[in-house]
Amino acid sequence: MHIFDSVQKTKRKFEPLVIGKATLYVCGPTVYDDAHLGHAKSALVFDLLTRVFRANGYEVTYARNITDIDDKIIKKAIEQKKDIKSITDFYTEAFHAEMEQIGVQRPDIEPKATESLDAMFTLIQKLIASGHAYKTSDGDVYFDTQSDHEYLSLSHRVQDESQRQERVESSEEKKNPADFALWKNVKDGSVTFDSPFGAGRPGWHLECSAMIEKHLAYKDKPYAIDIHGGGADLLFPHHENEAAQTRCATKHELANYWMHNGFVNIDGEKMSKSLGNSFFLKDALREYDGEVLRFYLLSSHYRSNFNFNTHDLEASKKRLDRLYRLKKRLFGLGANNEETPFKKELLTALSDDLNISAALALIDEMIAHANETLDTAGKHKALKKELIANLAYIEEVLGFGVKNPYEYFQFGVDEATKQKLSELIEARNEAKKAKDFERSDALREEILSFGVQLMDTPHGTFWEKV
């Protein structure tokens, strides 16, 4: 396995802290709103990563947090006159359901901020005790960035006070503008958590460091975990601050490797909460099969920026269709997991920093070769066994082709329409049998008006949603 480390800015061979194991932590969603395509992309990328690690024989422990303490959640709760938990439960459930639709497997551990306060307190206390954090007269606790000589080593930034913008709510008592809150005292009585530092709320960066220590960290290694991942925007300040907290509170660095996925833009426009043009996953799922979205969002390299648009999505769907048509040809032929040259090549491609383009090219070539042989060869029992093994492997490692191929091609068609289609097809077949081609072509036109394409095969007439 080779992965690109976004801190060292180079592709590195993966050397696990413990032989045969890989620990991965990814920053998950703040559950105050529906998941957008960026959340989907990030979840997809790290889902693929864990699958590839497992295919390489690693025992993976994958943790992705749920941020359920946050000012935006509280704001929404107040606006909607609901309690915090009903908001966070609702969006957590929605997130899980949507992730499942795009084939993202659940992480092994999914810690919540509300269930990790003890670990956060421990971390803050360690930081205060070691002189890396200080309290203000308001009761806030800040991390003292100047006390960490390695601060900014992650993002390679240079501190430039004259250009640095102040955050609106920063305290007058901060020693340094870059210092960030570990604990914020809350006096308005809205939503607070009791702590040894008074009632208030934890700073955002804190939870990841705390959760990693609590759930994942090796105690006796130079790094807490193997890999830390997240969206490209998190490198600074979020990950920089996490790294600083862990470095100063414990005797190890946070992660050996850092991976950041690129952004999703919509039709060339940056998607952002402040611009209000978020593209929600749930909206895309109404129009497209979840697996098509999975395929499309994964179809270019994870570090590139991704320009989401329906034109490319349609092209991507056609590519996935080819895989499903091969599945149709082999439908119902049982299982087989023998080793094949294709499987080896596919894993090699993906093990090189998730080279999805090379992997997809291999799949396309495999499909073309399979179709060609199935078209021409008389006996192909051994070939079919091999192809079934290949397809099963694509399902396992990439999560493509997991559905019933007939159902896949019927996405979005209701039962009444299906019934109507089957009647029309029967009528057309009778016309064909009577060599009344004028009528059969007219019926095909009528069928086409349902957005459905017919395919006559030796095994009967099938239809696909266009």
What residues between 415 and 434 interact with RNA by CB under 7 A? 432
Q: How far apart are CA 202 and CA 141, in angstroms?
A: 9
Q: How far is the CB of 291 from RNA (least distance, A)?
A: 15
Q: How far apart are CA 120 and CA 140, in angstroms?
A: 14
Of residues 38 and 401, the one with the C-beta less far from RNA: 38
Q: How far apart are CA 190 and CA 280, in angstroms?
A: 29
239 Cβ neighbours under 8 A, 6+ residues apart: 154, 155, 228, 230, 258
**Region from 24-32, 48-56, 93-101, 128-136 binding RNA, contact rule CB under 7 A:** 24-32
Q: How far apart are CA 363 and CA 368, in angstroms?
A: 9
Which alpha helices (H) appear in 250-355, and where do they start and end? 281-287, 290-298, 310-329, 341-351
Among 156, 187, 251, 344, binds RNA (CB under 7 A): 156
**Region from 48-56, 75-83, 152-160, 193-201 binding RNA, contact rule CB under 7 A:** 152-160
Q: How far apart are CA 105 and CA 130, in angstroms?
A: 40
Of residues 25 and 58, the one with the C-beta less far from RNA: 25
Give yes or no for residue 301 binding RNA (CB under 7 A). Answer: yes
Number of residues near RNA (by CB under 7 A): 82
Q: Which amino acid is at 405?
A: P
Q: How far is the CB of 224 from RNA (least distance, A)?
A: 19
b/e 23-32 (16+ beta carbons within 10 angstroms → b): bbbbbbbbbb
Give yes or no for residue 10 binding RNA (CB under 7 A). Answer: no
Q: How far apart are CA 354 and CA 358, in angstroms?
A: 9
Binding mask 333-352 for RNA (x = CB under 7 A): -------------------x
Which residues in the 222-251 window bind RNA by CB under 7 A?
Answer: 230-238
φ/ψ of residue 18, rounded to 5: -125, 125
For residue 62, list its beta bridge partners: 24
Among 304, 337, 419, 422, binds RNA (CB under 7 A): 304
Among 136, 176, 299, 336, binds RNA (CB under 7 A): 299
φ/ψ of residue 200, rounded to 5: 175, -155
The answer, yes or no, to whether the previous bond of 237 is cis (omega within 30 of 0) is yes
Which residues in the 100-139 window bind RNA by CB under 7 A?
Answer: none
Q: How far apart are CA 282 and CA 37, in angstroms?
A: 9
Of residues 17 and 398, the one with the C-beta less far from RNA: 398
**Region from 13-21, 76-84, 299-307, 337-345 binding RNA, contact rule CB under 7 A:** 299-307
Among 42, 101, 147, 246, binds RNA (CB under 7 A): 42
Give yes or no for residue 38 binding RNA (CB under 7 A). Answer: yes
Give yes or no for residue 383 binding RNA (CB under 7 A). Answer: no
Which residues in the 185-224 window bind RNA by CB under 7 A?
Answer: 204
Which residues in the 45-104 window bind RNA by CB under 7 A?
Answer: 72
Q: How far apart are CA 75 and CA 93, in angstroms?
A: 20
Among 157, 221, 385, 420, binds RNA (CB under 7 A): 157
Q: How far is CA 450 from CA 116, 204, 216, 444, in A?
A: 53, 50, 52, 10
Among 360, 397, 398, 421, binds RNA (CB under 7 A): 360
Closest by alpha carbon to 130, among 247, 249, 224? Answer: 249
**Region from 107-115, 216-224, 301-309, 390-398 binding RNA, contact rule CB under 7 A:** 301-309
Give yes or no for residue 161 binding RNA (CB under 7 A). Answer: no
For residue 464, list its beta bridge partners: 453
Q: Which amino acid is at 339?
A: E
Q: How far is the CB of 396 from RNA (least distance, A)?
A: 20
Task: Give burial (CB, 10 Å; 0-12/13-18/19+) of 322.
Answer: middle
Residue with token string 């693929």:
48
Which residues in the 249-288 window bind RNA by CB under 7 A?
Answer: 261-265, 270-274
Give yes or no for residue 440 binding RNA (CB under 7 A). Answer: yes
**Region from 30-38, 49-57, 84-92, 380-388 binding RNA, contact rule CB under 7 A:** 30-38
